[in-house]
A and B are shown apart, each in its own frame.
Chain A
């Protein structure tokens, strides 16, 4: 996040804490795509991600007075989102969140559902195919591994911020990151054997 962007967020959060409805609207607009992407990576189902998306913003409105302005707002927001997503997953899937997930979506993945249908040059199609394979393989990983990958590579959070969101030490973040990447690569080699998947 750039310095200007960070200052704008701080300003919006300060106004939100004073009860400014427009500031809340601005923050929703600013974070809508990132937050939804994170939730979708966590729960995989768009309908569930949409419900959680709404729940997160209601929770923000309820808890904003408890937010410590010295803390990183993004980390706080994603922590709220994570807690709601984990609660949701525990309700619908009480087994361990560390376990890899089977293919429950009958071949259609979130990534394939979400791809753009715009026509594109051939190289774009090839690149998209590669990305699609990575996305498909990522969906088979456990929640714990999916979330650390999306926070690092898609949200581009620093390791310290990830540690704050996940509420774990930095060393644990690194361990999870390495294991998640190892699992992802292993999955891709298994799903697409002998193919040049990169």
Chain B
């Protein structure tokens, strides 16, 4: 490929401002001595100018407002969802801590420190296990019911 041909290939990119510094210098040097390429460069420059002057379409105001409102609702929902998730995670963590801590405390109050080392089953341990299981089962059931209800409301909305 001749230098002239290389320069011709660079003209469109030059009009788009997409040449490297060295390429631009090479091009300018060539254009000073080549009328044909200079004319071609001018054509590309005008075409690029025409592209930059294309009219800017504007969306209808009602479309913008609808987009704004829908996006704000979605953003609010996303943050509500994240907040709910955080709260539930916090509650679960708190419930576990309470469960694990309350057992030794319960034993300490009722049977003393030595009782903690006693692995034998007796009615207090069973009562505590039943109590814990009931609380957790009720919590899970409530969470499922609330979740189903929330989904139903969102579907209706």
Contacts and interface: CB of A to CB of B under 8 A. Distances in A.
Contacts of B59: 32-33, 36, 49-50, 53
Interface stretch (A69-77, A81-89, A95-103, A107-115): A107-115
Contacts of A127: 53
A174 B13 CA distance: 7
A62 B75 CA distance: 7
Interface in B1-41: 9, 12-13, 15-16, 18
Contacts of A60: 71
A198 B43 contact: yes
Interface string B57-75: 1111001101110111011
A61 B55 contact: no
Interface stretch (B44-52, B97-105, B117-125, B145-153): B44-52
Given A25-B68, A149-B51, A181 B15 contact: yes
Interface in A47-79: 49-50, 53-54, 56-58, 60-62, 64-65
Given A61-B74, A134-B47, A53 B67 contact: yes
A173 B140 CA distance: 54
Contacts of B12: 177-178, 181-182, 185
Nearest to A188: B47
A135 B55 CA distance: 9
Contact of B72 (A21, A111, A153, A184): A21
Given A50-B63, A198-B46, A134 B51 contact: yes
A32 B71 CA distance: 13
Interface SS, A side: helix
A123 B92 CA distance: 73
A50 B70 contact: no
Nearest to B53: A131
A56 B63 CA distance: 12
B79 interface: yes
Contacts of A188: 47
B56 to A, nearest CB: 6
20 contacts: A19-B75, A24-B68, A28-B68, A32-B59, A57-B67, A57-B70, A116-B55, A131-B55, A134-B50, A134-B54, A138-B54, A152-B16, A154-B54, A178-B13, A181-B12, A181-B13, A181-B16, A185-B43, A185-B44, A198-B50
Given A114-B57, A181-B44, A185-B47, 4 more contacts: A57-B67, A58-B74, A185-B44, A198-B50
